[in-house]
Structure 1
Amino acid sequence: MSHILVVDDEPQMLRVLKINLHARHYSVLTAATGAEALDLAGQEFPEAVLLDLGLPDLDGMDIIRGLRAWSTVPIIVISGRDSPTEKIKALDAGADDYLTKPFVVEELMARLRAVLRRPPGEVAPTRAVIGGHEVDVAAATVTGPDGPVRLTPTEWKILAMLVASPGRLVPGREILREVWGPEQEEHSNYLRVYLATLRRKLEPDPARPRYLITEPRIGYRYQP
């Protein structure tokens, strides 16, 4: 049974999340302040944290940084702050995912399952499946139903970053920084072009991607 720490100062939200998590057989810890959240995380070592940013004592960004100073626990932000700037700040601070309130509970649970699939400290996977294609990152090969699929060096770099963190939202600026360099972090059009090409090569239905997912204006994820 996974222990989930839910951090929110709204009693109704805590209640709703606690009921839904218990119904799915998770053990739940709750905190209404940032200080309480940090104390519980240090004492109970949860498997994941669901974190609201608007707390009465500490800003959620500070909690993310505080946790990241000593822990790799997956953090999913659930917040009413819906601007892309806030989302990027949270992801850059160390959050694994970001969901805007109001949200569909089933979507939150799917994202929680995704971040729990890879235990903290596990070596990044070197193989992945995208539709009928098998990706071997270590060997730099993609094999599809009709044989090998050729990817350019840039496509490989992008794909390797995504499949290394299954289910995790990778900020677009992080990909741009790693692939093209820090001076290119604002050129999101590069990524749109390359992701479209990767989908044409790998997705069963490129117009409705199932594996290489875009979070508009924020980033991308490989969804197994």
Structure 2
Amino acid sequence: MARVLVVDEDPQVRRFLGVSLETCGHRVAEAENASDGLRLCQGRKYDLIILDPGVSDMTGLEVISSIRRRSAAPIIVLSNRADEATKVEALDRGADDYVVKPFGIGELMARMRAALRTSRPLLKPALVVVGDLRIDLSERRITRNGRDVHLTKREFDLLKVLASTPDHVISHHALLKAVWKTVRGDGVTYLRVYIMQLREKLERIPSRPTLIVTEPGVGYRLKTSGDQLSKGDGS
């Protein structure tokens, strides 16, 4: 269960999100404009903020920067604007994800789960074993059938993020922020290249991946299918 703040001028959107989120067990607070949203951020801590930056009482995407200065909670932007420049500016101003209206509630919930996972400390596995593949996060060592698999630093950092929460989807944006510490307009293309390189080294049939699985339009997950996970520090 998470405490979620919804900032949107449209009462129908607020009502729809409120009912949907509360049905899933979340607690929801609503704000109809930027001023109310900022006031609520100052007065209470939220786990997640869903925001339409098109609120009329603040210019452009300024509301994202203003909320980010007051809260470290993940921000998911809901917007009618689908152009790349707006998405990039929103992410650069502090948003964690961007969803274009109209949106599917299933996709939004998946993005919420991904944002909440990356914002909360978890007990991470120190060792992930999938068949004959061993991913030792604490030793930064990958082996298959006892033989070392050599990864570049960036490849390992990406694999480490995926292996830290196995069988959970991690969004493109969360992966880019965790590994590259920034999100650029061509970031997803960069990410796909590195995922392809990892698959070439780790998958038995890289063109038909069963380990690093794509969740279309959302991100990737490391699929263990119930194989062994040894809990530990892994950080």
State the 1:42 CA deviation. Answer: 1.4
Bigger drift between 20-29 and 137-146 goes to 137-146
Q: What is the aligned counterpart of 2:173 among 161, 170, 182? A: 170
State the 1:56 CA deviation. Answer: 0.8
Q: Equivalent pairs: percent with the same residue?
A: 34
CA separation of 1:24 and 1:65: change in aligned 2, threshold 3 A: same
State the 1:79 CA deviation. Answer: 1.2
Q: 1:94-173 maps to which residues of 2 (within 5 A)?
A: 94-120=94-120, 122=121, 127=126, 135-143=135-143, 148-160=148-160, 167-170=170-173
In the aligned structure 2, how far is the partner of 1:188 from the partner of 1:168? 10
Bigger drift between 88-97 and 204-213 goes to 204-213
> Which structure has the higher relative contact order (CA within 8 Å, separation 6+)?
2
CA separation of 1:139 and 1:206: change in aligned 2, threshold 3 A: same
Name the larger-Rg structure.
2
Q: Secondary structure at the match of 2:113?
A: helix
In the aligned structure 1, how far is the partner of 2:138 from the partner of 2:20? 39
CA separation of 1:5 and 1:173: change in aligned 2, threshold 3 A: closer
State the 1:92 CA deviation. Answer: 1.7
In the aligned structure 2, how far is the partner of 1:129 from the partner of 1:79? 38
State the 1:84 CA deviation. Answer: 1.8
Q: Secondary structure at the match of 1:89?
A: helix
CA separation of 1:152 and 1:71: change in aligned 2, threshold 3 A: same
Kept in 2, the 8 Å contact 1:21–1:27? The answer is yes
What is the identity, as a one-letter code, of the residue corresponding to 1:110? A
Q: How many equivalent residue pairs?
A: 216
Q: CA RMSD in A?
A: 3.9
Residue equivalent to 2:233? none
What is the identity, as a one-letter code, of the residue corresponding to 1:18? G
Q: Secondary structure at the match of 1:170?
A: helix
**Ranges in structure 1 where 5+ consecutive residues have no aligned partner:** none
Residue equivalent to 2:39? 39
Q: Secondary structure at the match of 2:142?
A: strand
CA separation of 1:127 and 1:44: change in aligned 2, threshold 3 A: same
Runs of 4+ displaced beyond 6 Å = 161-166, 171-179, 184-189
Residue equivalent to 1:2? 2
CA separation of 1:60 and 1:7: change in aligned 2, threshold 3 A: farther
In the aligned structure 1, how far is the partner of 2:31 from the partner of 2:179? 36
In the aligned structure 1, how far is the partner of 2:178 from the partner of 2:3? 31
**Ranges in structure 2 where 5+ consecutive residues have no aligned partner:** 223-235
Q: 1:56-67 maps to which residues of 2 (within 5 A)?
A: 56-59=56-59, 61-67=61-67
Q: Secondary structure at the match of 2:72?
A: coil
Q: Secondary structure at the match of 1:69?
A: helix
Residue equivalent to 1:92? 92
- TM-score when normalising by structure 2: 0.71
- Give a deviation string over 1:177-209, Cα, whole Å, max 9, x none: 669xxxx99698655433311133345875576
- TM-score when normalising by structure 1: 0.74
Q: 1:42-81 maps to which residues of 2 (within 5 A)?
A: 42-59=42-59, 61-81=61-81
State the 1:138 CA deviation. Answer: 3.8
What is the identity, as a one-letter code, of the residue corresponding to 1:77? V
